[in-house]
Structure 1
Amino acid sequence: MSRKSAKSHHPLEQDSLEHTPEDSSSPAQAADESTARKASDKTRDDKTRDKEGEDENNDAPGDVSSHDAHADLIEKLVAAHNQINELKEDYIRAKAEMENIRRRSQNEIISARKYAIEGFAQELLSVVDSLDQATRVEMDQPNAEAAINMKQNMKQNMKQGLALTLKQFDQVMEKFGVIAVAAETGVKFNPEVHQAISVIASDAVAPEHIVNVIQKGFSLKDRLLRPAMVVIAKSPEK
């Protein structure tokens, strides 16, 4: 009885009874588990690095392609910029040329208006010369006898000279399209080219026909410059 009580209360014997064989091997197992975990972690790290390397390798072609696209875009932008500059230069040159054409056209129009009758005036000079010569012949008489002889023939000579001058003047006018309106005795009155200043009864001329021409009318090509001033006939009163 006393031995059993002593055995049960001995601390060392109690500790040795409480420890099983499995408890004695736990440090070794913990070491193995730690080693296994490290190996697993290492393997996982290696796989992660391999995957990252693969991702980097996979990303490399994309980076090259992006660089090429960027370089191509820059090249296109430079080409577009050069083309814009060329178009600007062409526009400036075209604008300057149009301005020069406009100025030349304006100068030509001004000159044409200013010297439109230059040819007409040159042709009229011959008429002026004829009139001037006629004036000189009348004024430059050497003596009284010559003046008397000139006076006797003055009417006839003057009429002939004026007729020749008028004919010359008409030729110049016709050359530039200035034509006398048809207005003679017996011509039917035309309100488009004739202007009646008087109406008289006449047996010799039909009603609404021209009896007499007071002033000639003229037209420039197809445009009326002035109407002919005429006297027209009407039926005589009975």
Structure 2
Amino acid sequence: MATHADSNKPLDGELTENTPEQVQPDVLAQQPEENPADLAAELAQAQEKVSQYYDQLLRAKAEVENIRRRADDDVAKARKFGTESFAESLIPVRDSLEAALAQTEQSVETWREGVETTLRQLNKAFERNSLKEVAPAPGDKFDPHVHQAISSVPSEFEEGAVVQLLQKGYTISERVLRPALVMVAAAK
């Protein structure tokens, strides 16, 4: 900004930041003057919309809370009654075992036949509930997802192959309940 050498006053026609002359009359003339009644009506409309949005927000929040509560109830019921089907499948197996123990006079053949029948019932219960055994044969490839190696031993099988099954494993719906315990072939 240019000023006179002997004063800090601006030159003629020059505006400073604080002078009211900066607001040009043309700009003020372009802005229409609003009627206070129109402004009040617009304010009332805006307040009504805000009230509607707030009501919608509260309803959405309550709905989300209801959904969360229902989901929690469903999870609790699933935990509580999730084994109901499996338990129903096992009741006949127990009944058969108790009936076998109640028989005092039976031959070995009769006893064996009863045990085999009971085992078939148990296998059907496992099958109905997607419970499958994991029993790798000697020479099968070791799978760390369903097998657990207890030790490695020298063998004619290639390194890492199953040499011996020590205990069967089980999966339920592809999820491992218990891995099969195995011995694997060591490096030659």
Q: Distance in 1 between matches of 2:179 and 2:37?
A: 83
Q: Which residue of 1 aligns with 2:89?
A: 123
Residue 115 to residue 71, structure 1, CA distance change in 2 (3 Å) = same
Identical counterparts, % of pairs: 34
Q: Which residue of 2 aligns with 1:4?
A: none
Q: Return the letter of the residue paired with 2:39.
A: L
Q: Which residue of 2 aligns with 1:167?
A: 120
Residue 126 to residue 229, structure 1, CA distance change in 2 (3 Å) = same
Q: Return the letter of the residue paired with 1:123.
A: S
CA contact (8 A) 2:142 2:184 kept: no
Residue ranges of structure 1 left out of the alignment (5+ in a row): 1-64, 139-146
Residue 128 to residue 104, structure 1, CA distance change in 2 (3 Å) = same
Matched, 1:78 2:44: yes
Scaled by the length of structure 1, the TM-score of the pair is 0.54
What's the secondary structure of 2:176's corresponding residue? Answer: strand
Residue 79 to residue 232, structure 1, CA distance change in 2 (3 Å) = closer
Residue 198 to residue 157, structure 1, CA distance change in 2 (3 Å) = farther
Bigger fraction of residues in helix: 1
TM-superposed CA distance for 1:181, in Å, is: 1.1
Q: Which residue of 2 aligns with 1:215?
A: 167
Report 1:70-219 matches (<5 A): 70-138=36-104, 147=105, 150=106, 153=107, 155-184=108-137, 186-188=138-140, 190=142, 192=144, 193-195=146-148, 207=157, 210=163, 213-219=165-171
Deviations 1:158-207 (A, max 9, x none): 222111111211121122221111334x44362534445577889xxx54
Q: Return the letter of the residue paired with 1:135.
A: L
TM-superposed CA distance for 1:93, in Å, is: 1.3
Q: Distance in 2 between matches of 1:200 and 1:218?
A: 24
Q: Distance in 2 between matches of 1:71 and 1:233?
A: 93
| Alignment size in residue pairs | 151
Residue 111 to residue 217, structure 1, CA distance change in 2 (3 Å) = same
CA contact (8 A) 1:189 1:232 kept: no
Deviations 1:124-174 (A, max 9, x none): 112112112212223xxxxxxxx4xx3xx1x22222211111121112112
Of the two, which has the highest radius of gyration? 1
Scaled by the length of structure 2, the TM-score of the pair is 0.66
What's the secondary structure of 2:103's corresponding residue? Answer: helix
Residue 94 to residue 216, structure 1, CA distance change in 2 (3 Å) = same
Q: Which residue of 1 aligns with 2:19?
A: none
Measured on the aligned residues, the alpha-carbon RMSD in Å equals 2.9
